[in-house]
Structure 1
Amino acid sequence: MQPAHLLQQVAFIKEIDKLKYIQRKTKLFNSERHENDAEHSWHLAMMTIVLAEHSNKPIDVLKVVKMVLIHDIVEIDAGDTFIYDTAKNHTNTEEELLAAKRIFGLLPAEQAADFIAVWKEFEDGITDEAKFARSMDRFEPLLQNTSNNGGTWKEFDVSYEKVYDKKKAIKEGSAGIWKYAENLINESVEKGILKK
């Protein structure tokens, strides 16, 4: 007979496999294939490890990695909301909280509480770790869209003002990465892949 904790953890591991089926609007670098949430989370984790030195403040890198790996798990139930969606607000919703409680609730109670707390910390965006995690979350799609000749910006007729407004949150976690990102946004306008 297996220990109850192990059975709960395996159930959670099986459940989160569904993240691989949640398609995002953005496409892989220089590709026509849409990214899925699992790929996105993995990429953010790698970005965190590689770019941590650019954080505005010293951060617990492992905690940020944990944040970016679990931040979109709620989308298994709630679905992915496109950041430039005009019908549905891209903020923490009651629907996402219910999803967090259900999915993380598959884990043993102490682990579930920890995962929910880390997920909420990311959503609140107040701690230095959350600010850097959110910077990574905003930076990756910017890199994708610039590699894809405008990508979702062109596809969904997103303006410079909207992009700038959503991406300026990068500055909260990393002024250096924001400077780089701001230059990419402005170059995108000059290249005609982002309308001003």
Structure 2
Amino acid sequence: MDNTTTNTSNILEFLHICEKLKKTKRTGWICHDIKNPESISDHMHRMSILSLLIKDSSLNRDKCVKMAVVHDLAEALVGDITPFEGISKAEKNRREFEAMRQMCTNLLENSPQSQEIFALWQEYEDNSTNEAKFVKDIDKFEMIIQAYEYEQSENKDLEQFFESTKGKFNHPEVKCWVEELYSKRKVYKQQQQMKRNQIN
């Protein structure tokens, strides 16, 4: 009985930590002065939806969805670290690994469920499987969808996000999505330029 109580208490504590993902805004949008930017949870949720849409039968779709759900879990403790903060990739990886170890091994007592969470996170970080490579692709794709939406709602030029991901998509289906987004954005930019020309 005591063990069950302790375990339940730890699960609740873990869920309270996860709440930080709902409150922590994505750093890239904050740096570009986006009003009410998306949270880390917002980003992971749409990635999960994208994983459900994949048609490629060679991929384990359930694993992709799970991986999308947990891939940024460490950020609940370490925050959304970006390259612009002067923190090396090695240090970022160290902090995130320690955060996952703390949550999965210590807090969740290395249970079978927490082992699965950690294994999914590590697989994503290692980019070692086709599922991990796909989820890496949709991580970038979800970001540029959001950038395009913010360009429309905030009247900003967020070209930096498109340039940083250009040529870095690998999965054929994701590439098709990217090309469709590029086409829509090109039309939008042309329309905006026409409006500016009319005003001038």
> Do they fold alike, i.e. is TM over 0.5?
yes
Name structure 1 gaps, 5 residues minimum: none
For 1:93, what is the secondary structure of its paired residue? Answer: helix
Kept in 2, the 8 Å contact 1:41–1:69? The answer is yes
Q: Which has the higher contact order (CA 8 A, sep 6+)?
A: 1
Partner of 2:41: 38
Shift of 1:186: 6.5
User: Which deviations, in whole Å up to 9, do the C-alpha atoms of 1:86-123 show, x marking residues without a partner?
Assistant: 73456761111111111223113133322211101011
Q: CA RMSD in A?
A: 3.1
1:50-89 to structure 2, matched below 5 A, reads: 51-53=53-55, 55=56, 58-82=58-82, 85=84, 87-88=86-87
Distance 1:186 1:162, change over 3 A: farther
Comparing 110-119 with 124-133, which one deviates more in the overlay?
A: 110-119
Of the two, which has the highest radius of gyration? 2
**What is the deviation of 1:144?**
1.3
Task: Tell me which protein shows more strand as a share of its residues.
Answer: 1
- Structure-2-length-normalised TM-score: 0.74
Provide the rounded CA distance (Å) in 1 between the counterparts of 2:71 and 2:182: 25
> Percentage identity across aligned positions?
23
Residue pair 1:164, 1:185 contacting (<8 A) in 2 also: no
Unaligned runs of 5+ in 2: 193-200
Which AA in structure 2 matches 1:48?
A: S
Q: Aligned with 2:65: secondary structure?
A: helix
Aligned length: 180
Whole-angstrom distance in 2 between the partners of 1:94 and 1:72: 14
Q: Which has the higher helix share?
A: 2
Distance of 1:189 and 1:95 partners within structure 2: 39
Deviation at 1:70, TM superposition (A): 1.0
Deviation digits for residues 16-66 of structure 1 (CA, Å, limit 9, x no counterpart): 111112111349xxx8420001111111111211x221x4x6222221111
Once residues 103 and 123 of structure 2 are traced to their aligned partners in structure 1, the CA distance between those partners, rounded to angstroms, is 17
Amino acid of the structure 2 residue aligned with 1:122: Y
